[in-house]
Amino acid sequence: MEILGSSESLRPTAQPVATSLSRAAIFLVVTIKHGTGSRTAIRSFCADFAALVRSVGFRELEGSLSCVVGFGSEAWDHLFGQPRPKELHKFREIRAGERHAVSTPGDMLFHIRAQRMDLCFELATRIMARLGPAVSPVDEVHGFRFFDSRDLIGFVDGTENPKGQAALDATIILDEDPAFAAGSYVIVQKYLHNLTEWNKLPTEKQEHIVGRTKLTDVELEDSFKPTYAHNALTKIVEDGKEVQILRDNMPFGQAGQGEFGTYFIGYSRSPRTIEQMLQNMFVGKPPGNYDRLLDFSRAVTGNLFFVPSATFLEKVRAE
């Protein structure tokens, strides 16, 4: 897709942020080794990134393979210097009682999506082989679509996602930062669930916490919905209009180890929208009226990345 920037002649092309939901995904976060040659190796990789994705995706065209790469604040300075995206910064941790939105290491994010996990795995393998000693992996999560797009807590996830042009409007930067038009911000968090305790709750109580019915996925009426409901606290309204983000959350887990979780990933034109959602969830709105999901789910990672346009990546030179 092409997005107009400050000059129509530039027409930067966005990375595939607003792509359709997939059946499988890999979320790969790495840190950069700041030794000899890492900057050159990664800059060279950026220019070849699109061709690498195409080469793997061409092996199974119906697999709809795509990949988005984002960069953390310190990594941006190390790799690209000035100018820099005006709202890029390190993920801001939040502490409120026992609730903690942690900030964890991460210089680059690869969000790999396809209809088949083998395509995701093959691309992740090639990315790591290409980057070699320039990076160290710090987190890798293999996500899967769970039945009718449900989370492991049993509720449909992503119902209110914007679609089509609305998804582009929610995620792709335009004139607010002309130097980085067609870019986007993305925040990721890995949540681990205590399903044993969650499943002890009556369904009606679970529905009050989430703000939707469990079976039919119908939003509870405002007159009936608690103010602490998840979908009440994560609805951001400015000037009378809801500010949307694009979520592509995925369940993950290891049944034998009793690990069950959700990988949250949210794209937006400004990180402030998701940061406000997290503030409402962890601290509460008003303070103390927090998201009761956090009594059963804890964040174990937290990162903010900037996703530059595909045009930006193609123009990067090794130096």
Token pair belonging to 75: 């990594």
Query: What pLDDT score does 318 carry?
Result: 77
What is the band of 7 on the pLDDT scale with cuts at 50, 70, 90? very low
From the candidates 157, 177, 248, 291, give the one annotated as an active-site residue.
157
In our burial notation (b when 16+ CB lie closer than 10 A, e otherwise), range 139-178 reads: bebbbebbeebbbbbbbbbeeebbeeeebbebbbbbeebe
Mean residue pLDDT across the chain: 94
Token pair belonging to 317: 């030179």
What is the band of 4 on the pLDDT scale with cuts at 50, 70, 90? very low
Mean pLDDT, residues 29-39: 90
Whether residue 62 has pLDDT greater than 90: no
What is the band of 10 on the pLDDT scale with cuts at 50, 70, 90? low
Whether residue 6 has pLDDT greater than 50: no
Give me the amino acid identity at 124: A
CB neighbour list of residue 103: distance below 8 Å, 6 or more residues apart: 90, 91, 92, 93, 302, 303
Query: What pLDDT score does 2 carry?
Result: 46
Answer yes or no: are the C-beta atoms of 152 and 261 closer than 8 Å: yes
Give me the amino acid identity at 130: R
In tens, the pLDDT along 219-261 reads 999 889 999 999 999 999 998 899 999 999 999 999 999 999 9
Distances (CA, A) of 269 to 144, 163, 173, 242, 300: 26, 15, 5, 14, 25
What is the band of 3 on the pLDDT scale with cuts at 50, 70, 90? very low
- 306 phi and psi angles, rounded to 5 deg: -105, 135
Query: What pLDDT score does 252 carry?
Result: 97
In tens, the pLDDT along 152-163 reads 999 999 888 999
Answer yes or no: are the C-beta atoms of 172 and 166 closer than 8 Å: no
Query: What pLDDT score does 57 carry?
Result: 94
Mean pLDDT, residues 43-71: 94
Token pair belonging to 248: 């592509």
Whether residue 5 has pLDDT greater than 80: no
| Annotated catalytic residue 157 | yes
Answer yes or no: are the C-beta atoms of 33 and 133 closer than 8 Å: yes
Whether residue 35 has pLDDT greater than 80: no
In tens, the pLDDT along 73-94 reads 999 999 999 999 999 999 999 9
In tens, the pLDDT along 205-226 reads 999 999 999 999 999 998 899 9
In tens, the pLDDT along 127-181 reads 999 999 999 999 999 999 999 999 999 999 988 899 999 999 999 999 999 999 9
